């Protein structure tokens, strides 16, 4: 501070300013306005240099003051003087704004100095402590969350293992049931072969259900087989139907036609399997009636035999029957260069499944469906591409599975807002586009004998 004051005195700026002011006063009257303005600016520049040095001394002096008395002195004495000077040269409103800004600046500086000199009253330390505590809580919560996730994953793994164990147990139970049935059949064959009253002939030597079977055991076996067959029906719908649809779409671009073909294949497979089952049952009944004896009814004995000899079912004949029926169906069409034989795998699986379902008590069958029927939520699901506001079925995607008229597995349909006339005209146009091989198949179909059961379906 002392060095700055010595420099200000040594330069003689104040004396030079006084001399220039006296010289300007003598020449003011004879000078022009431009010359007076230049002389005034020169005085202001010299005064600004002097004020700059004085403000430097003021700043150093206020910093050396530890009791904030310098700031109070500046606020009381300097700011009013600055306001008076600005008021003389500027408008009142502009000065008030500048003066307010200056006061705010000085007040902020005083507050900062107070915070620096009294850190114990600053809330910054409390905020830092709270922030540290919050971070610790967040870290603890993250650890708890990771622990919970790990425990959840372990629980899910245990649940999956438990489900696998349950499935394995159920599979083993089913295998035990089948083995018990096979054992009983073998024991029955052995007993009949040793009997002195055994009738001659190969057909009479076929197995009967043993007398040691109880009704409760038979019901258990029937329920187990029913569950397996229903599950198989669901698997065919979910996987093998999808594979067949993917295969057909390589030949047919119309998704509706593809779904109609698969639905028709499913319905015709069940019909063909039922016809084969009744023929097979009549044949077995005729063979076993010659040597039947015992407390069990002939119907039960025939059913037991069919259950144990399902491999004698000629499924390939049923597949051919299904393909012939599909070739004459007016609702579906196929490119001339391709045949419905590409669906042989799906048709064979459905025929075997339908044949086995006929051996249940009561038997399982697919529900009857017709285009334009009223949509029934207890019977069908809507396909994703359906109009969910439509009340009528446009066409069927997959049949429902029923037991004694009660739906146990829902089918799938497509509902759309289309007129019946449009639907019929569309069917007629498809019927007219059938190829020559359809006409040949139709000729062979007319040569077959009339079936009352098929007439009821149609």
Q: Each residue's pLDDT tens digit in the chain (458 positions)?
A: 567 777 777 777 788 888 888 888 888 888 888 888 888 998 888 888 888 888 888 777 777 766 666 667 776 677 676 666 555 554 444 445 555 555 666 566 666 666 555 555 457 888 888 889 898 999 899 999 999 999 988 888 888 888 788 778 877 876 676 676 556 556 555 654 554 433 433 443 344 443 344 444 455 577 888 999 999 999 999 999 999 999 999 999 999 999 999 999 999 999 999 999 999 999 888 888 777 666 668 888 888 888 888 888 999 999 999 999 999 999 898 788 778 999 999 999 999 999 999 999 899 999 999 999 999 999 999 999 999 999 999 999 999 999 999 999 999 999 998 664 344 444 444 443 444 334 334 333 333 333 333 333 33
Out of 64, 80, 111, a domain closes at 64
Report the helix count and the strand count for the chain, using DSSP H and E: 16, 6
Per-position b or e across 240-255, b if 16+ CB within 10 A of its CB: bbeebbeebeeebeee
- Structural domain count, the chain: 2
**Which structural domain, as residue segments, surrounds residue 28?**
1-64
pTM for the structure as a whole = 0.48
Q: Is 388 inside a domain boundary?
A: no
Q: Is 107 inside a domain boundary?
A: no
Q: Is 449 inside a domain boundary?
A: no
Q: Is 216 inside a domain boundary?
A: no
Out of 45, 64, 83, a domain closes at 64
Q: Is 126 inside a domain boundary?
A: no
Q: Is 169 inside a domain boundary?
A: no
Q: Is 373 inside a domain boundary?
A: no
Tokens of 150: 């790990």
439, 261 Cβ separation under 8 angstroms: no
Out of 64, 87, 112, a domain closes at 64
398, 412 Cβ separation under 8 angstroms: yes
Q: In a 10 Å sphere around its CB, with 0-12 CB exposed, 13-18 middle and 19+ buried, how is residue 163 labelled?
A: exposed
Q: Is 447 inside a domain boundary?
A: no
């Amino acid at each position: 501070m002392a060095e700055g004051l010595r420099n200000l005195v040594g330069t003689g700026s104040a004396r030079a300013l006084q001399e220039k002011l006296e010289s300007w006063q003598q020449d003011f009257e004879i000078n022009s306005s431009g010359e007076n303005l230049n002389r005034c600016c020169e005085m202001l520049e010299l005064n600004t240099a002097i004020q700059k040095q004085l403000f430097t001394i003021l700043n150093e002096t206020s910093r050396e003051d530890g009791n904030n008395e310098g700031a109070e002195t500046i606020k009381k004495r300097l700011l009013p003087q600055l306001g008076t000077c600005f008021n003389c040269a500027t408008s009142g409103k502009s000065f008030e704004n500048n003066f307010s800004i200056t006061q705010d600046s000085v007040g902020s500086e005083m507050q900062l100095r107070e915070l620096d000199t009294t850190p114990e009253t600053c809330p910054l330390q409390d905020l830092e402590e709270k922030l540290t505590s919050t971070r610790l809580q967040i870290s603890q919560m993250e650890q708890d969350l990771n622990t919970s996730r790990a425990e959840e994953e372990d629980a899910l793994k245990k649940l999956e293992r438990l489900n696998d164990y349950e499935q394995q147990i159920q599979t083993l139970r089913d295998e035990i049931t089948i083995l018990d049935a096979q054992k009983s059949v073998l024991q029955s064959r052995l007993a009949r072969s040793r009997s002195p009253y055994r009738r001659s002939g190969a057909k009479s030597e076929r197995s009967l259900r043993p007398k040691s079977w109880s009704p409760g055991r038979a019901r258990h076996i029937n329920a187990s087989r029913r569950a397996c067959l229903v599950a198989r029906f669901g698997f065919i719908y979910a996987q093998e139907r999808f594979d067949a649809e993917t295969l057909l779409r390589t030949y047919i671009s119309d998704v509706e036609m593809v779904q109609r073909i698969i639905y028709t294949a499913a319905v015709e497979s069940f019909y063909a399997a039922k016809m084969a089952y009744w023929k097979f049952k009549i044949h077995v009944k005729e063979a076993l009636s010659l040597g039947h004896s015992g407390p069990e009814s002939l119907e039960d004995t025939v059913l037991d035999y069919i259950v144990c000899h399902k491999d004698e079912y000629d499924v390939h004949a049923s597949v051919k029957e299904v393909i012939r029926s599909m070739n004459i169906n007016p609702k579906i069409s196929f490119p001339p260069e391709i045949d419905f034989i590409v669906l042989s795998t799906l048709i064979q699986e459905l025929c075997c499944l339908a044949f086995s379902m006929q051996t249940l008590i009561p038997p399982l069958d697919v529900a009857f469906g017709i285009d334009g029927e009223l949509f029934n939520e207890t019977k069908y699901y809507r396909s994703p591409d359906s109009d969910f506001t439509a009340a009528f079925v446009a066409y069927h995607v997959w049949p429902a599975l029923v037991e004694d008229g009660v739906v146990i597995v829902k089918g799938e349909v497509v509902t759309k807002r289309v007129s019946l006339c449009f639907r019929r005209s569309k069917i007629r146009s498809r019927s007219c586009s059938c190829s020559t091989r359809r006409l040949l198949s139709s000729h062979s179909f007319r040569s077959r004998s009339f079936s009352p059961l098929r007439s009821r379906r149609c």
